[in-house]
A = this chain, B = another copy of it.
Amino acid sequence: MAITVVGSVAFDSIETPAGRRERCLGGAATYFSLAASYFTDVRVIAVVGEDFGRRQEAVFQAHGIDTQGIEHAAGKSFFWEGSYLGNLNEAKTHVTDLNVFAAFEPKIPEAYRDSEFLFLANIDPVLQRRVRDEMPGVKLVAGDTMNYWINDHKPALLEVLKGLDILLINDTETRTLAGNSNLVQAARAVMAMGPSSLVVKHGEYGATLFHSGEASRTFKAPALPLEEVVDPTGAGDSFAGGFFGYLASQPELTPAAYRRAMFYGSVMGSFACERFGTERTQNLTREEIDQRFNLFRELTHLD
């Protein structure tokens, strides 16, 4: 079933211990769509500037991603520059130029309206809420956010949470949102704000899936111990794409489907780190993905 995703499509300049790349194609919606495209149909809502041309468009098209919801505006695309020189777990942001993104008004193409899955990537919660309200017929809604919205736009964010089935955030965001340093208690508090499921991403330590009211169904997916993390940018969005893309490909949302989705999330997150930007995620096969899925099984299963 098709996923509509709303979020950023951007250019990133990235420096890591493995080197430096200028103006890679990036943005949460880009990483999410590419990862999800291996599992299901994906439709993007975003805004780009005049620097987004045929070459960038072709990346989406090569994966069958519907780009009619990518609005082309006068000016430059969202640009981010950051480095991970001291710590691969946390980017140091040097430049954030919102550019055309500053005036982003998401418009939902008619052809997207029958999407059964909706992913609200990390953008202004006011916009997340608007898109969610305009797609009342979706079957499952997931979303992401970040500390900036949690700290400075909490009322708007709380409105978004009421309309989410699944929230995907990291440890610190979970603890900050709940105001509680114990992860289990914090997860319960966050789920009381709306989402019935919460995926807490732990970076190099994997991710935990919590379900409200069903502590027994908590599930942990590891991250792959990687010999070299070339560039962690987009790993969380790629996790979300693998997780939600796999769910959207399933006939039924059983607990077992959620567990497998967690593994596919970790799989796509691990690939994302192996090259700069979306390079690795652009060039995968479903066979490679399933081979890595099996590697995750061996890494965690007793028998």
**Does the CB pair A182–B227 fall under 8 Å?**
yes
Mask of A40-76 contacts with B, CB within 8 angstroms, 1/0: 0000000000000000000000000000000000000
Contacting residue for A227 out of B184, B229, B303, CB 8 A: B184
**Does the CB pair B184–A298 fall under 8 Å?**
no
**Does the CB pair B298–A216 fall under 8 Å?**
yes
Contacting residue for A225 out of B218, B229, B260, CB 8 A: B218
Point out the residues of chain B lying under 8 angstroms from A205, CB to CB.
202, 205-206
- The reply to whether the CB of A204 lies closer than 8 angstroms to some CB of chain B is yes
Contacting residue for A299 out of B182, B220, B225, B260, CB 8 A: B220
Whose C-beta in chain B lies nearest to the C-beta of A210?
B225
- The reply to whether the CB of A219 lies closer than 8 angstroms to some CB of chain B is yes
- Known contacts being A206-B205, A208-B225, is A299 close to B183, with CB within 8 Å? no
* Complex CA–CA separation, A83 to B202 (angstroms): 25
**Does the CB pair B220–A300 fall under 8 Å?**
yes
Q: Which of A172-220 contact B (CB under 8 A)?
A: 181-185, 187, 202, 204-206, 208, 210, 216, 218-220
Contacting residue for A182 out of B202, B220, B228, CB 8 A: B228
Mask of A96-134 contacts with B, CB within 8 angstroms, 1/0: 000000000000000000000000000000000000000
**Does the CB pair A302–B302 fall under 8 Å?**
no
Main SS class of interface, A: mixed
- The reply to whether the CB of A253 lies closer than 8 angstroms to some CB of chain B is no
Mask of A265-303 contacts with B, CB within 8 angstroms, 1/0: 000000000000000000000000000000001111111
Interface size on A, residues (CB 8 A): 34
How many Å from the CB of A242 to the closest CB on chain B? 15
Q: With A183-B204, A300-B301 given, can you name 20 additional A-B contacts, CB distance below 8 Å?
A: A88-B181, A182-B227, A184-B225, A184-B226, A184-B227, A185-B228, A205-B206, A206-B222, A208-B225, A210-B225, A216-B298, A218-B299, A219-B299, A220-B222, A220-B300, A256-B302, A260-B302, A297-B302, A301-B301, A301-B302
- Those 10 A-B pairs whose CB atoms lie nearest each other, nearest first: A205-B205, A220-B222, A184-B225, A184-B227, A300-B300, A259-B302, A220-B299, A220-B300, A301-B301, A218-B225
A-B contact pairs, 19 of them (CB 8 A): A182-B228, A182-B229, A183-B204, A184-B226, A184-B227, A185-B227, A187-B225, A202-B205, A205-B206, A206-B220, A208-B225, A219-B299, A219-B300, A220-B222, A220-B225, A220-B299, A256-B302, A256-B303, A301-B302
